[in-house]
Amino acid sequence: MMIIFKEFLIVILVVLFSIATFSQSSVILYTYAQDIVPKYIIQGNSISGFCHDIIVELNKELKKDNVEIRYKSSTAKPIQQIISSLSNKGVQIFVGVPHSEEWEKTVKYIRLPLYVVREIFVIKSDMENVLNNKDSMKIGVIGGTVTARKIPNMPQQQEIVEYKSITEAMEALEKGKVDTLFLSSLPLGYYISQSKGKYKSMNAPSEKCYQYIVFSKSVDDKVIRVVEEALRKILINGVIDRLIKKYGLEGYVLPGNVVEILLVDWKPYEWYDKDKKDWVGMDVDVVKKVFSELGFKPVFLSFPWTRCLELMKTKMYDGVMSVRDIEERKDFLTFPREPISAGFDVLFKLKSKKIDISSLEKIPKEALCGYGDGYAYGDWFWNAEFRKVPVSTDEVGFELLKNGRIDLFVCNLLVGKYIAREMKIEVEYSPVFGEKMVYYVGFSKNFHGSYLAESFSEQLKRFKNTSDYMDILRKYGVKYEELWK
């Protein structure tokens, strides 16, 4: 009896294993090619192109999980038809589509971007001077695209002309039927790079546009997670970088795991090391470590502080460092739950200056205090009765303090001590009059920004409990208690 039972159990296990294996091997995700070059290039029954090559690389990773992306036909389709097919379960996946709140109602998005583009204008190179003097502009777009719905305002009067495909639009530009085309930098960048100087892009501020993999809502979430991990691997392994170079798209397309972050020199939190030719600092090291663990590559760019905030309003970049979450900034920034660092603002003066800064009441009303333009200070500072004057940077403030142009300068305690030591000036600083200043990495107010804020917050919280985090603080001479106690 026992032998029969064992044999029966073995049969059951074999059947279950066979069913599981069959189930896994039968996960075929059908897709279409889009009628836009170089995302998909159709030659007869053959499909190639930037996104096609991405599918090839994804399939290499997906093979071990018995998942495959396969074309349903070799005929390219317009994006609206592809989205409709996904909604109707005609196909299960599409590679290379921007986020749209309207489309999100009918398809599932992987939150990790595939690659990043901007919208750009392209013109014929020999028409640049002519167009600068025109009172009106005919702008060609591809009908039904997300890009077509957000053309920026120009000084000239605008007339929008819709086309069905990029090929048709480029022919119209060539024949002078339109003055310029406005479209994603992927196809236009490709045409520019292939044209040998015939076409060029017009400089125009543009928000970043993140391209994604989307699925029919009928696709199981487990399968979607498998595809997402395959995407993460090819991003980390530099596959998208290599394809960008293959198609001559450098300067027009970024891999989806590149995060562009704005910052200023603000020792010891962040500053540019001229010897290392890299950004360093307590917060920079933490951001690099946290994002690397998430599979992202942070890229740091510096502008004056007020300019950083203005650029974030345009959604041209992904994040900004060491920013306070005051109410007015929540209109254009997404804040993670977990702060990056903290500090206290105090008043600095020269030791030789005969001003009592032991309390706000003892500071003369005629005393002149500098502050960083665009920085967020506590109410204690704004309510103080001494005179106030904005300066461009903390370094400028200390220079004015050194030269006797101002009597006081308000600054983060750690930052002020660093600057004074570097400038070799003897200063004194006041007691802490206000609350602790808590700083965040503020992310763009969009679909991708909310994803970055969530992912970054969770990983940062875990990282703060590691010895690696404590090592970073010690490296910059900062005690844990100075930040968080």
Least Cα distance to 478 among 324, 282, 270 occurs for 282
The confidence score (pLDDT) of residue 130 equals: 77
Least Cα distance to 113 among 466, 452, 462, 438 occurs for 452
What average pLDDT does this structure show over 110-122?
A: 95
**pLDDT, tens digit, 9 for 90 and up, residues 418-441:** 999 999 999 999 999 999 999 999
Overall CATH class of domain 257-342+438-484 = alpha beta
| pTM of the predicted structure, to 2 decimals | 0.86
The confidence score (pLDDT) of residue 485 equals: 78
Domain boundaries, the chain: 26-109+215-254, 116-209, 257-342+438-484, 345-435
Is the pLDDT score of 337 beyond 80? yes
The confidence score (pLDDT) of residue 206 equals: 82
Q: Assess whether the region 116-209 and the region 257-342+438-484 belong to the same CATH fold.
A: yes
What average pLDDT does this structure show over 174-182?
A: 93
Q: Which of 33-42, 138-147, 283-292, 448-457 has the lowest mean pLDDT?
A: 138-147
Q: How far is CA 31 from CA 11, 47, 57, 112, 218, in A?
A: 38, 12, 15, 19, 14
Least Cα distance to 58 among 182, 231, 205 occurs for 231
**Cβ-count burial of 398 within 10 angstroms (0-12 exposed, 13-18 middle, 19+ buried)?**
buried
Residue 436's Cβ-side half-sphere holds a number of Cα atoms within 13 Å equal to 11
Question: Strands, E, within 303-401: which ranges?
Answer: 319-323, 333-334, 341-343, 345-350, 368-372, 387-391
The confidence score (pLDDT) of residue 15 equals: 39
Least Cα distance to 210 among 126, 265, 300, 146 occurs for 146
Q: How far is CA 365 from CA 345, 355, 368, 370, 387, in A?
A: 20, 11, 8, 14, 7
CATH fourth-level superfamily of 26-109+215-254: Periplasmic binding protein-like II (3.40.190.10)
CATH of 345-435, one of 3.40.50.300, 3.40.50.1100, 3.40.190.10, 1.10.10.10: 3.40.190.10
The confidence score (pLDDT) of residue 101 equals: 93
What average pLDDT does this structure show over 235-252?
A: 97
What average pLDDT does this structure show over 347-374?
A: 96
The confidence score (pLDDT) of residue 6 equals: 45
Distance between CA atoms of residues 409 and 395, nearest Å: 10
293: which 2 tokens? 């663990």
Is the pLDDT score of 386 beyond 70? yes
Overall CATH class of domain 116-209 = alpha beta
